[in-house]
Chain A
């Protein structure tokens, strides 16, 4: 198991490096590889000032969404669950759109923070609604879906009221875009700490996948673990949504892909989901800005265009 994990991480790491380098070199202006290190090269600036922040953002958001998806699917035992089930995207988008609509001028950082707060608050509202001495996961699923409809109505209303010149910045929050804000160092600290914390709990997480009664009778404090899992999922998803808006499909499909590729043990699933999500989203984003260059397409198109065939193919290979 240890060797399998090591091999997976090394292979994933190499693939990640390859995608990062490719993403840095590809773009409307194609750059030679020596521009990466040669500070004299005029393209050096483009690579490190324009492309690198976006690469970092894609890695961060991909890793967050994928790990959050792994957690939420394990918690509600529903293969269709994705991180947005927690109402985070709706909450964040509603707050953002409200600020844009009322023309409250916030600095970019404050705007991101407001989105984060809105998303996290929505998740906490869902937790409050679904908590009866323990998280009732069936209630959570239903409440989450219903809340999402409520937020969608709010968002539609604000879009209908918005003057045309505000539409573009509003659409960012709804379609997802990795070029809008930069990552901060503490984003990666959050993901790293969450990953470590969960990795230490890999056996309880395995057992939780068998059901809450099973976990409790086997010696796992399922009530506490569920609250931890929910909070971390909400945190990771809020970070992702605040950084990039609503990017679909990563949190749904990457955990499934990883389960098909590396099995069901969280010891392997957690690091591989982080890596897989980062690779997946960065690939999709690189394609979204190169395929029709100089036009940039929404990244969500490519997460689905890559994810759907890969997933269907892998799913047909396993019984």
Chain B
């Protein structure tokens, strides 16, 4: 369970979102909707501990996020980044195995990686170099790395980017399945996908205005109109 209380989302000294209260629980599949630059990625960064947040506003299963050391945190939360950082080369299977680092697992590494690759339909990429993949293939590898982390919480920043429509459908169904034993939180601009698959929605409208709750009640015409109003 990730509980957020009175969180201010701040980037470069500027307050993007104010006083956010929301709790992400196991068995829930959250979609986060909001316009560009509203602070969605910064929020996810803070939830994953990549950016500091003030006065202990984020708790993982009752523990303040800052109190958990980096390696233990990675056992709790896996995070699919939106943007690829500059990096050096390695093979796809090496890349996915990096997801297991937090557990220091010496055994069954290769098998677990193979299983994940089969599950995500990327076994054919096994020995390919990471830097020679297409955008969509790279995205699938990053996703597999997150799943290899085997954490109870899964945070995804625009997971559908670069993926073809067939795989988008497949991924959404996979995430629904994952949400049975992980709490899944996803930032996504595809309202239809969120409507069809997410159990809960966090609708970010403005700096101090948001709605959170079950998607059936939140995603009504009136609220969506507010989201799309220019």
Contact = CB atoms under 8 A, between A and B. Distances in A.
B165 interface: no
A204 B74 CA distance: 13
A77 B86 contact: yes
Interface in A193-246: 203-204, 206-207, 209-214, 216-221
Nearest to A207: B98
Interface stretch (B29-37, B87-95, B190-198, B207-215): B87-95
Contacts of B94: 206, 264-265
A288 interface: no
A319 interface: yes
Interface stretch (B75-83, B118-126, B167-175, B177-185): B75-83
B85 A217 contact: no
A143 interface: no
B71 interface: yes
Contact of A216 (B50, B89, B91, B99): B50
B101 A220 contact: yes
Contacts of B84: 211
Contacts of A203: 101
11 contacts: A210-B98, A211-B86, A213-B81, A217-B74, A217-B77, A218-B145, A219-B70, A219-B71, A220-B70, A220-B71, A221-B70
Given A204-B101, A217-B50, 15 more contacts: A77-B85, A203-B101, A206-B98, A209-B88, A210-B88, A210-B98, A213-B50, A213-B81, A214-B85, A216-B70, A217-B48, A218-B74, A218-B98, A219-B71, A220-B71
Contact of B95 (A210, A212, A220): A210
B132 interface: yes
Given A216-B50, A219-B74, A207 B101 contact: yes
A73 interface: yes
Contacts of A213: 50, 81, 85
B149 interface: yes
B101 A219 contact: yes
Contacts of B78: 217
A74 B88 contact: yes
Interface of B: 48-50, 70-75, 77-79, 81, 84-91, 94-95, 98-99, 101-102, 129, 132, 145, 149
A207 B132 CA distance: 18
Contacts of A209: 87-88, 90
Task: Specify the main secondary structure of chain B where it touches its partner.
Answer: mixed
Contacts of A78: 86
A5 to B, nearest CB: 15
A73 B129 CA distance: 18
A218 B94 CA distance: 14
Contacts of A210: 85, 87-88, 90, 95, 98
Contact of A211 (B72, B77, B87): B87
Contacts, number: 75
Contacts of A211: 84-87
Interface of A: 73-74, 77-78, 203-204, 206-207, 209-214, 216-221, 259, 263-265, 319
A214 B149 CA distance: 12
B90 A206 contact: yes
A214 B81 contact: yes
Contacts of B95: 210
B90 A264 contact: yes
B73 A219 contact: yes
Contact of A218 (B89, B99, B129): B99
Nearest to A74: B88
A220 B98 CA distance: 10
A217 B50 CA distance: 7
B102 A219 contact: yes
Q: Which of A210, A217, A220, A319 has the most CB of B within 10 A?
A: A217
B206 to A, nearest CB: 27
A33 to B, nearest CB: 43
Contacts of A216: 49-50, 70
Q: Which of B90, B99, B129 has the most CB of A within 10 A?
A: B90
Closest 6 CB pairs of A and B: A211-B85, A219-B74, A219-B102, A219-B71, A209-B88, A264-B90
Nearest to B103: A219
Nearest to A222: B70
A265 B75 CA distance: 23
Contacts of B73: 219
Q: Which of A219, A221, A259, A263 has the most CB of B within 10 A?
A: A219
